[in-house]
Amino acid sequence: MSPRPPAPRFVIRASADRAELAVHGELDASNTVELHDAVSRAGPGHGFCVIDLTRATYLDSAGINTLFRLHRELTRAGIRLHLVAPTGSCPRYALNLVCAHDVMPVHDGIAGARAAVNGGGC
């Protein structure tokens, strides 16, 4: 039996206009509360929140549900949520299955998300 992978780390960076949160590792039912709490702490006071899933190795339905819930909550607070999930990655595949791009912007890389935020685009 192989050891369980390490718990994900949520790395938060904030600037004047946005909060960025990078997910490292798996995002599943075992840690969605931590993701929600991290975004809730990082998001207020910013016009945008970017969740970067580039280093996420797994995304299940609980993680997807949490991302949609965060989108609803942040939208009510006047904060635009952007996701980063590179084409071909596990998170991007899962997000495509539920058409997340129809609800919130999903970018291939952090540079694209930052450009959209800086330019005021979606």
pLDDT in tens, 14-31: 877 888 999 999 999 999
Q: Is a pLDDT exceeding 80 seen at residue 122?
A: no
Q: Is a pLDDT exceeding 80 seen at residue 116?
A: yes
Residue 52, Cβ density class (10 Å: 0-12 exposed, 13-18 middle, ≥19 buried): buried
Place of tokens 């929140």: 49
Extents of the domains making up the chain: 9-118
Determine the pLDDT at residue 121: 54
Report the CATH architecture of 9-118: 2-Layer Sandwich (3.30)
The band of 7, judged by pLDDT with boundaries at 50, 70 and 90, is low
